[in-house]
Amino acid sequence: MSGKILTFGNEARKKMLAGIDSLERAVVTTLGPRGRCALFYKGTSHPIITKDGVSVAREVSFSDHLMNAGACIIKEAAEITNSEAGDGTTTTIFLGSQLCKDGVRLIESGREPIEIQKGFDAACNDVVEALEKYKKVVSSSKDILSIATISANNDPEVGKTVLNAFEGLGEGGVVNVLDSHNKSGKTIVEFSAGMEWPRGLSSGRFITNKKAEKYEVEEPKIAIFDFVPELEDCVDMLNFCLGKSFPCVFIAEEFGEDLETMCINMSIERKARFALIKAPGVSSIDLSERLKDIAVFTGTRVIKDRDDLKEFIKKNENGEMFGSCKSISSGMFKTTIIDGNGKDKEIEARVEEMKADIEKGMKDSNVGISSEEVRVIKNRIAALTGGIANISVGGLSETRIKELLDRYVDAVCAVNAAISDGIVPGGGTALLKAARDVRKKEIILMILLGPAMKLFLKFAKSQSLKLLVQ
């Protein structure tokens, strides 16, 4: 077993600061709309060109463990900024680095670390409060275009494409950025007006549009199962739809072999418009939640087991228990439901339930929720409310596609943050104004509260604000 390396005091702090400083210097060149790109090459893949601060930071590591420890502290802060805001990671690294340097300087001058921390926290709260005054609500297309263009390193084409994606969505819509692997150089925006997931038909023999290789049907009856339905479970439902000449779609994770065979035969021999479609979900919990989304969207309920199925059939004498929609399009790897006939109140209740899940997960550390889980839930909300826009990024090479992907991701994240929380003057001017406002507040407090408060503010708050005006 290898021994531990123990380092203490100034020696440890200097090593950690060296790592923080090196990370800052590697990342800070990408800062702002006039920032430069960084290039790194791992030797086993295509070179990567990016001006995304957190992407650059992830590639920085050191052989010295203490330098790595220092860098990781700032990386963690940048990752949190990236998950919550999607942009501003380079600014986070720069400010975090300056705070660490200032904190170490104060410690070496004899200040108590806990008091320094209290001063930083107090200054942070005051600055955030001051910034609220300069916040502007984003509502116009001009604002969105400007934000997207600037965030994409002043690329007007990226700005226009992102604006097109956001303008094509309703309230609550979600914009995704995807690698199309398209070497033609074209970037395409595709809109989904309804609910979509990356699974499709259980068999290609259900395809009705041979050219498009899709099953396409209008106003189908829909049944959703949270178990594997067999033929004997579904005979009554199939006969009902056949007798009424209703198109019929069953949605489940998997299907019994006999059920699939019977549905195929009925579709071919009796020209019934039946189809079995595989449900979305990467886990049993995720599957159940997504099935509930589809059920609410189409105006039905999930059939949980065979006993529940008997109850469903009993109440479904006239077909009123089935879900429905304007149309369904399903290939082997993608399904889209357009204009589900779910009730507005039930959809709104489902959306509020998902929003509550996000809020609870972010507030309660015992529950916990990752940025990826938040993204998935937001996509589910968008599918129920505003639709989805996919920006499929193309380029003339893999290197170019990767670089454009980062630009599009930064632009989309910046627009999302701006729409959600507003914007402030850029280029560091908002921080300068906030520092000025906090100084005025300090002067008033000094006059009112006397020498004791003056002493506290001088060493605890003023030092932390110094970096904001540098």
Token representation of residue 94: 């720069």
Q: What is the mean pLDDT of residues 72-89?
A: 80
How many other C-beta atoms lie within 10 A of the C-beta of residue 25? Answer: 11
b/e 325-345 (16+ beta carbons within 10 angstroms → b)? beebbbbbeebbbeebebeee
Tell me the Ramachandran region of residue 100: left when phi exceeds 0, alpha when psi lies from -120 to 50, beta otherwise.
Answer: alpha
- The pLDDT value given to residue 212: 77
- The pLDDT value given to residue 447: 55
Mean pLDDT of the chain: 83
Q: Which residue has the higher pLDDT, 426 or 336?
A: 336
Sheet holding 388-394, edge to edge: 174-182, 388-394, 188-192
Residue 309 exposed, middle or buried by CB count within 10 Å (0-12, 13-18, 19+): buried
| Whether CATH 3.40.50.2300 fits 196-342 | no
- pLDDT digit string (tens) for 321-340? 999 999 999 999 889 898 89
The answer, yes or no, to whether residue 186 has pLDDT greater than 90, is no
Q: Which of 196-205, 278-287, 370-379, 410-419 is the least confident region?
A: 370-379
The answer, yes or no, to whether residue 148 has pLDDT greater than 60, is yes
- The pLDDT value given to residue 162: 93
- The pLDDT value given to residue 372: 74
The answer, yes or no, to whether residue 122 has pLDDT greater than 80, is yes
Within 13 Å and on the Cβ side, how many CA atoms surround 358?
17
Residue 462 vs residues 100, 294, 450, 467: alpha-carbon distances, Å: 15, 55, 16, 9
Q: What is the mean pLDDT of residues 205-223?
A: 90
Where residue 272 falls among pLDDT bands split at 50, 70, 90? confident
Task: With beta carbons less than 8 A apart as the criterion, state whether 396 and 128 touch.
Answer: no
**Which superfamily does 9-110 belong to?**
GroEL-like equatorial domain (1.10.560.10)
Report the DSSP beta bridge partners of residue 179: 393
Same fold, 9-110 and 196-342: no
The answer, yes or no, to whether residue 1 has pLDDT greater than 70, is no
Q: What is the mean pLDDT of residues 168-175?
A: 74
What are the structural domain ranges in the chain? 9-110, 141-192+356-421, 196-342
CATH architecture of the domain 141-192+356-421 equals: 2-Layer Sandwich (3.30)
Contacts of 245 (CB under 8 A, 6+ apart): none
Residue 112 vs residues 7, 17, 249: alpha-carbon distances, Å: 20, 19, 68
Token representation of residue 468: 């904001």
Token representation of residue 286: 């995720």
The answer, yes or no, to whether residue 443 has pLDDT greater than 90, is no
- The pTM of this model reads 0.61
- The pLDDT value given to residue 279: 93
